[in-house]
A and B are shown apart, each in its own frame.
Chain A
C-alpha cells in the first residue's frame, strides 16, 4: 500500500494522544477517585459512538532526523457522539495534562467544540476539571507576554460560552477541582452537576489564603456551598450518576431551539385520580405540607426531574412529563418560608422560566405563595426588585402556561402565578385562599382606629377576623368570576394532561426573542 507508512504514523500519534498525560498522571487521577477525560466520555455517551476531532493536536518534539520523539496531547478533548440515540457534542478537560490549564489546551479546540454545537444545532456537554482551559500564571513566561482576557482575537470562547445558551442545551459537569474559566463554563450552563468530592471556585484555596481566608477546597467551593448558592444545580456521589443526570436532562429537551421537545409514548393513565390529594393540604392554615408528593402524583409516574433543589428553596423547579409531553414544572414549597418568594427564589424563577421559553417547554405551576418574603433581611437583599424581575420574566414568556393554585396566592408575588398579559389556563384547588395581603397583620393596619376604639381590642380584632374570613371563601370569588375554575384536586392530573395536549401544537420550533443568560 502506497501510504502505509503515513497510516502507521497516524495510528502511532493517535495512540500517543490516548496515553494522555502519561501513566503516572493517569494513576494519580485514578487514585484521586476520578476518571480520565477519555473514560468519562466513554461512560457518558452511547457505546462506541464518540467521533473525536483533533485527537493528534498537541505539542511534539523531534529528533535531529526529524522523527517524532515526544508528544503531549492538548488537554482539550472534543468530538461528537450519541446520547440515548441523539447527536451531541462533548468537550472535556484532560486534567492529566498540565492540570487542564490553557498553556496545553490549544485555544481553538474548545472554540471549535462550541461552534460545532452552535452551527450544527447540537446539545453540548462540557466536562470540566481544572481551570477549563483558562490561564495559568506560567503562561506569561511561556508566551513571553501577558494575556488580555477577551483581547484582540481572543473573544470567541467567551462569546460561545454564553451565546450557546440561546441556541442549544448546555450541560456542565464539574468533576474535580474547577476554577476560573472552568468555573465560568460550568456556571454558564442550563444545568450543572458536580460530584460531592469536587469543588468549584473563582479562585482556589492558595489564592484565597492571601485574603486571610484559610479554607480547604470543600469549605470554599464544595457542593453544599455551591448548590445552596445556586452556582451549581445538583450534586451526586459518583461521576456515573453525573453522566446519568446529563442524559436525563437532555431527554426532555429538543436538540436546539430550532426544534420542539420530544413527546414520548406514555404508559401512565392521564385520567388517573389520586385519592390522597383530597387530604394533601391541611385545613389548619398554619400547618405546612409536602409539595413534592403532590408533584409526583400529578405528573407521569417517575417523570419528575428536579433541578436546583438546594437553591431558592421556597420554589421547586424541574422537568416532567404529562401524558408523555415534556413540561417545565414549577411548584411552591411551604416548608421554606411558607413558600414566600425570597431573593434567591426569585432568581430561580427567572432562570427557570427563561429555560422554558428558550426550549419551548409549556409551564405548569403548582402555586402556594403567601407573598414576597418580608422583614429587614428581605429588604436588604432587594427582594422586591428581584421579585419584579421574576414578574417581568413570567410576563415576557410566550410558551403555553397552566397554573393550579394549591393554597395561597397573596400580594404581588401571588399575582405572578401566571403571565399577566395573555390568557393562560388556571385552576384553583378547594383549599385555595387569596387576597391583596394576608389578613394576619393586615387587619391591625387596616382597622387600627376601630380596634383602638374598642373596649377589648383583642376581642375586636378576633371579631373582625371572623367577619372577613366569612367573606374569604373562594366560592365568593368564583361567583364574581374573579377566578374561573375551582376543581376537585383529584382532577388535577387529567386537566394537566389535557393542557399538555392543548399546548403541543402551540409550541413553535423557532428561536425565542429571548437571549438567555446564565
Chain B
C-alpha cells in the first residue's frame, strides 16, 4: 500500500483535527483545519484512502510544506 504525505500549503496554526487514524476518507474530505489571518483553511485529502497517521496537534504551528497527515491506500 502506497503511503501519501499530505502537506500544509502555507504557514499557519492548526485549528482543528478532523481526521482520526484508521478512518476512511474520500478525495476532498477535510483532514485538518488550519487557521491563518482569522480564517479557517481546510487541508483536504488529495485522494481516497485511510488515515495512517496525524502528525500534528491542535494549536501547533506548521510551516509551508510541512507534512501533517499520512494516508494509506
- Interface residues, chain A, with chain B CB atoms under 8 Å away: 286-288, 313, 334-340, 370-371, 373-374, 377, 438, 440-441
Contact = CB atoms under 8 A, between A and B. Distances in A.
A286 B35 CA distance: 9
Contacts of A340: 37
A413 to B, nearest CB: 11
B40 A337 contact: no
B10 A338 contact: no
Give the interface centre of B12, B40, B42 by most chain A CB atoms within 10 Å: B40
A441 B38 CA distance: 10
A338 B41 contact: yes
Given A313-B10, A336-B9, A337-B10, A374 B37 contact: yes
Interface in B1-47: 9-12, 36-42
B62 to A, nearest CB: 13
A288 B39 contact: yes
Contacts of A288: 39-42
Interface of B: 9-12, 36-42
A264 B38 CA distance: 43
A259 B18 CA distance: 54
B9 A337 contact: no
Contacts of A338: 36-39, 41
B18 to A, nearest CB: 14
Contacts of A373: 37
A176 B38 CA distance: 43
Contacts of A334: 39, 41
Given A313-B9, A313-B10, A377-B11, A337 B38 contact: no
Nearest to B36: A337
Contacts of B37: 337-340, 370-371, 373-374
A469 to B, nearest CB: 14
A337 B11 CA distance: 8
Nearest to B44: A335
A81 to B, nearest CB: 40
B29 to A, nearest CB: 16
A438 B40 CA distance: 16
Contact of A286 (B10, B11, B12, B38): B38
- Shortest Cβ-Cβ A-B pairs, 5 listed: A338-B37, A338-B39, A286-B40, A340-B37, A337-B36
B33 to A, nearest CB: 10
Contacts of B12: 337
Given A338-B41, A370-B39, 5 more contacts: A288-B39, A336-B10, A336-B41, A337-B10, A338-B38
A371 B36 CA distance: 12
A440 B9 contact: no
A370 B40 CA distance: 13
A438 B36 contact: no
A377 B13 CA distance: 14
Nearest to A373: B37
Contacts of A374: 37
